[in-house]
Each structure stands twice: as structure tokens, then as C-alpha cells.
Amino acid sequence: MGIQKDRIKFNVGGRIFETTATTLGNAGRDSFFGALFDDNWNLLRANNNQEFFIDRNPDCFAILLDLLRTSDLHIPSNVPERLLYREAAFYGLSDHVRSAKWGPFDGNRLSLCRSVTGRAPGDGTAIRAGPDGGCAVAHGSMVHVFDWMLEEHPPINLDYQRVNDIGWVNTDGIVISACERLGTADGGMGLFTSSTGELRYKFNVVHDNQVKSYAAGALSFSPDYKIFSSCKGRSNEYGVGVWDQVTGKQIDFFYESPGWSLGDADKLQWLDRRNCLLVATLFPRKDNCYISMLDFREKRMVWSWSDIEAPVTVDEKRVRDAIAMEESNSICVVNEYEDLGFIDLRMSGGSVRWSSRSRLNKGKMPDESCYPKLALHEGQLFSSMNDCISVFCGPDCVLTSRLRRSHGGSICDFSIGGDRLFALLSEENVFDIWETPPPPII
């Protein structure tokens, strides 16, 4: 064995570090360290035994060097995260830090990582996780955007109209749907740059070759770059509109038929395998619940369910949220007591099969509760109720975990994305971030 040739010595802000080319290679081409290599990953500018001076913070350098060596991030308590993130940005290692900070999402291993307190009054309507670990929170007429470091960006407003729903189209684009203000012809749906809050595009609705103003409600996105939104037009043009994300043009509109509700929908969900859109209008927005599946190619409602004709039972159960589970060919619904129910998707007009699991919650309902919400992530079903989120797994939806935080009121909305779970609390304007810790060392 000879002498090691790939050693390199750094002098960072006066502290000497020694490492190897292999370790630095882990930083990738697109980083400060990548620029020290030539095309064949041989070290450039390596004057023998001469140290390489960098005028930066040595403490952070130590943490980042450790990250490159082990792919594991350990931030000592004396180093503020913000400082570390800034240094990582200098070296071009932000992506490394982010991917090492938390592990792949698993509903049963989540731990609370932080709570962020916002400025706005406690009137949160929606929270949506971004694809890279950031999130957007809608409060009244404002949308606050946080990146993965939970740094807040300039807020977005659509001329101070009430925001109904938000959704991320990519890491830098947010679609916001808003109400129409009385007396004005604005409202509708717009695409914003998440980092700057600028309006990039406004989506129009055309009826009979005329651009009409409208109020946009729930949003959904399909993998082939379509945007769906429930729409309410001025002259009763109710229904679901479809736009192309790339061109921004409206490509379809499914009009609501009499006696059924589409334009008021609380929830839209694109089902890629069935090539259908689930549209759910729920109590108390309407007196009854309407759940339907639309096939846009055939311009047809291929499946529908409603509780109009359902007999009124002793303990009245009203569907408060619905989510389609394509694997098990069913739609999962939840009522105000957090009872889960299932409707078979394979035939129209079936009834709800309630699971009697959660009776134990009864009787200790807080005075002012939020409606339960459902979410699905890689086969795990999440349901929020009051101040906690339940996790259900497996084909029979067995309750496996509960996420609860002691204060902040009940959860009014939550969202999963970028390997994180965000929960928005109703009383104080706080949202919680839940993460899966990095995998164990061995």
C-alpha cells in the first residue's frame, strides 16, 4: 500500500479540515465541491499539501462535511438550523440537507418536528403540502407560503377575495381558487409563483364562446397536466371545469344536471386508474350529500351516490368527507362522530357500510368541533377529528396510530406531501409539521 493520494486539506475560517476526494465527490457536480473536479472526477487545483482556504463558518462546514461523509445529518443544539441552511446554500448542498433531514413517509412512524405560528387570525381554511416539503396555508383571502426550511415567502393574495382551495402544480407554482366578490367580475382561479407571490396566469371560463366570471371551489390535478375545479357561474353555469396546465386553456366543462350538485363540490379527486373524477358535495354545504364519478371522455356520470332517499336513522349519520380508494374499489366516507363508512364503487346506488369502530369517542365531543377530513397516502388512510389524526392501515382499515398535539384547538385541515404531514389547527393560528425520522443507523 502506498501513500493516499486523494487527500485534500481545507482551511475554513481558520480551522483545518482534511478529507478525501471521494467524500467531496458525494457533493455532486452541481456544487461548490463539484467545481474542484475535472470531467473525469480528478481533483483540480490540488497543490500538494497546500491547504484550500474557504472564508466560511467552520462549525457549519464540519456538519456539512459530516453529511457528505455519512449521508446523515446531525445538527448540534448550539448551531441554529437557519445558519446551517444558509451555509448549505452557499456550498450548493441544500438538496443534500433536505433529503437527510427526514426519512421516507410512514404514517406509523411520524413524530412532530415543529409547530409554526402564523400571524393571521385563526380562520384557516386549507393547508396543502408542496412537492418538496414546503406548504401553503390559506387564511381568508391570503395564502402564506413556506418552503421546506419553513421560511416564509411573500404571501399571495388574489385581490383579497376569499380563498376556497389551493394546490401545488409543481415546486414553484400554486393554483388558488377564490370566490367572486359581489359587484365585481373577478374571482376564479389563478396560477402564482410560490417563491415571489406573483400572479402568473388567470384561468378563464368560457360559456357559449363568451368569457364569464365565476367562483372556483375545490381543486384537483391529474398526472397528464389537467386542472379540475368546481365552478359556479353568474348565470347558473354550475359544474366542473377542466383546464390544461401547460397552455392554461379551458378544455372541457361538465355541466351540473338538475337535482344534482357539482358546482358546489367540497372535494374533487382524480382517479387515474379509472380515468374518472370523483366529485363530492357534502353536508352542511347542501342539505344532502352527493357523490359522483365523472367520465370526461364519455361526458357521462358513471357512478353516483346520494343520501336523499336514505332512511333517517336514530343517530343521524351525515357524510362529512369522502375519499375514493381505487385499490379496494370503494369510497371511504366519514361522519361527524368519526365513524368510517364504505360504499362499493363497482355498482351505483349502493348503501354505506358503516364500521362501528369509533363509538367510544361519543359523548366527549367538544363544543365547537371541526368537520372530519380524510386523506390517503400509499395505502394508509388518515382521518382528522378534533385535535388528533388517526392512521388506518391494511385492506380492512385497522387503526394503527394516533397523532395528537396537546393545544391549538381542533384540526381544521391537514395535507400530506413531500414526505411530510402538515396539520392546520383552528383556534390558534398554528400548523404542525410531522415527519418520519431518518432511518436507523443499522
Residues that bind another protein (CB under 8 A): 30-32, 34-36, 45, 52-55, 89-90, 92, 172, 195-196
Any idea which residue has 452541481 for its cell?
30
Q: For residues 56 and 405, which CB has a smaller minimum distance to another protein in the complex?
A: 56
Provide the minimum distance between the beta carbon of 191 and another protein in the complex, in angstroms, as a whole number.
15
Provide the minimum distance between the beta carbon of 39 and another protein in the complex, in angstroms, as a whole number.
8
Cα–Cα distance, 353 to 326 (Å, whole number):
17
Q: For residues 22 and 50, which CB has a smaller minimum distance to another protein in the complex?
A: 50
Provide the minimum distance between the beta carbon of 218 and another protein in the complex, in angstroms, as a whole number.
30
Q: For residues 172 and 344, which CB has a smaller minimum distance to another protein in the complex?
A: 172
Specify burial of residue 299 (Cβ count, 10 A radius: 0-12, 13-18, 19+): exposed
Q: Which three cell numbers stand for residue 70?
A: 455519512
Closest by CA to 229, choosing from 254, 194, 211, 207, is 254
Q: For residues 36 and 262, which CB has a smaller minimum distance to another protein in the complex?
A: 36
Provide the minimum distance between the beta carbon of 35 and another protein in the complex, in angstroms, as a whole number.
3
Provide the minimum distance between the beta carbon of 45 and another protein in the complex, in angstroms, as a whole number.
6
Provide the minimum distance between the beta carbon of 2 and another protein in the complex, in angstroms, as a whole number.
27
Cα–Cα distance, 61 to 84 (Å, whole number):
9
Please name the residues in contact with 364: beta carbons below 8 A apart, sequence gap of 6 or more.
none
Closest by CA to 338, choosing from 350, 351, 354, 353, is 354
Q: Please name every residue paired with 367 in a beta bridge, in sequence order, or none if there are none.
A: none
Q: For residues 35 and 365, which CB has a smaller minimum distance to another protein in the complex?
A: 35
Q: For residues 12 and 280, which CB has a smaller minimum distance to another protein in the complex?
A: 12
Sheet containing 142-146, strands listed edge to edge, beginning at the edge strand earlier in sequence: 124-129, 135-139, 142-146, 156-157
Per-position DSSP letters for 27-81, written without gaps between them: T-SSSTTGGGB-TTSPBPS--TT--EEE-S-HHHHHHHHHHHHHS-----TTS-H
What's the half-sphere exposure (Cβ side, CA atoms, 13 Å) at 342? 15
Q: For residues 12 and 215, which CB has a smaller minimum distance to another protein in the complex?
A: 12
Provide the minimum distance between the beta carbon of 271 and another protein in the complex, in angstroms, as a whole number.
34
DSSP designation for 359: G
